[in-house]
Amino acid sequence: MRSAEFWDLIDVLGGTADEESVARLGERLGGLPARTVEAFGTALDERIDVLAESPAIPEELRYSETAEWFAAAIIAAGRPAYEKARRAHAPFDADDWGFEEAEDLLVVGENILEPVEIELDGVQVEWLSAQRPDEVGDPLDAIDAADPLDAIDPPAEVDALDADWDVGVGTDPQVASAVADLTQARTWRSWFCTQSTRAGVVCVSVEDDAETGLNESGRPAAREYRYAVPVERLLAAADRRAEMRAVLVEAWTAVADSVGWKAPPPDPGRR
């Protein structure tokens, strides 16, 4: 990567490497070809190596991972700061540099290029309708209705039942498949990474006669969001995996719009 191109990308940080600025850079990199992201990562690593043992690094930080954080903070400040550090014969004052969050800059390209793991605890789909495909399990199928609590093993599965004990909250294997589809798309990997610190629980509830959209039963203050979908939509889908992926995209888009996040990319499987 040409030096000018590298520093143009660094300038996106606005002089500081923190959560917000690195997210901006991640968004920019997410729209570039993979080879450009790789080249940026290589160019960044080379400059980190130059500074990591430089006299500019405060003595108390040398020979530790925080030396790289400090170097990243210097690079984030721009080319003049980097060149000054290269020529330095004495350490910079650590108090003048906010380097605690600069670690994120070191992996911004890597997070975009490599698959990210999305915790399925944060992506829930609950089948609250008794109408469901055969592959959507119902925990109540294995419970003795006369004494349901004794029949649950392990006891934690009680959380998978609704309060009326008549409809089990079905688990759908297509959820993991749909999330896997999204994480294969580089634009979605970039979005997940830049939104990771804001992550909450997005729960899609599949219900009878539901009106599609965010449901007031969610708890935004606790970063828990509920998105309702009519069961008829998923039952009628020729490709449930693709339809589930579309539903998850819609749910995240609705949450992002509601709370002011950057909107996620479109469904990578639909043109």
pLDDT, tens only, 139-195: 444 334 444 444 434 333 334 433 333 444 556 788 888 888 887 777 777 777 666
Task: Based on the fold, state whether residues 245 and 203 are members of the same structural domain.
Answer: yes
Distance CA 194, CA 21 (A): 10
Task: Based on the fold, state whether residues 127 and 67 are members of the same structural domain.
Answer: no
CB count within 10 Å of CB 116 equals 15
| Selection from 51, 72, 78, 73 nearest residue 62 by Cα | 51
Task: Based on the fold, state whether residues 19 and 107 are members of the same structural domain.
Answer: yes
In the sheet that holds 201-207, the strands lie side by side as 123-127, 201-207, 224-230, 213-219
Does the residue 159 lie in any domain? no
Output the pLDDT for position 40: 93
pLDDT level of residue 75 (50, 70, 90 thresholds): very high
Task: Based on the fold, state whether residues 246 and 125 are members of the same structural domain.
Answer: yes
Partner residues linked to 137 by β-bridges? 171
CB count within 10 Å of CB 164 equals 6
Partner residues linked to 203 by β-bridges? 124, 226
Task: Based on the fold, state whether residues 216 and 255 are members of the same structural domain.
Answer: yes
Does the residue 37 lie in any domain? yes
Does the residue 235 lie in any domain? yes
Partner residues linked to 161 by β-bridges? 168
pLDDT at 245 over 80: yes
Does the residue 267 lie in any domain? no
Task: Based on the fold, state whether residues 14 and 106 are members of the same structural domain.
Answer: yes
Does the residue 92 lie in any domain? yes
Task: Based on the fold, state whether residues 109 and 230 are members of the same structural domain.
Answer: no
Does the residue 146 lie in any domain? no
Is this model's pTM higher than 0.75 or not? no
Distance CA 37, CA 24 (A): 14
Task: Based on the fold, state whether residues 78 and 24 are members of the same structural domain.
Answer: yes
Sign, Cα dihedral of 39, 41, 47, 50: negative
Distance CA 44, CA 41 (A): 5
Does the residue 270 lie in any domain? no
Higher-confidence position of 87 and 143: 87
Distance CA 84, CA 251 (A): 48
Does the residue 153 lie in any domain? no
State which of 63-77, 92-106, 126-140 shows the largest mean pLDDT: 63-77
Q: How many residues does the chain have?
A: 271
Upstream peptide bond of 115 is cis (omega within 30 degrees of 0): no
Task: Based on the fold, state whether residues 30 and 126 are members of the same structural domain.
Answer: no
Q: 53 is written with which tokens? A: 């043992």
Task: Based on the fold, state whether residues 11 and 97 are members of the same structural domain.
Answer: yes
Average pLDDT of the segment spanning 117-127 = 64
Q: Which domain holds residue 54?
A: 3-113
Q: Cβ distance 9 to 1 under 8 Å?
A: no
CB count within 10 Å of CB 266 equals 14
Task: Based on the fold, state whether residues 232 and 124 are members of the same structural domain.
Answer: yes
Output the pLDDT for position 246: 92
Average pLDDT of the segment spanning 109-122 = 61
Number of domains comprising the chain: 2
Task: Based on the fold, state whether residues 131 and 208 are members of the same structural domain.
Answer: yes
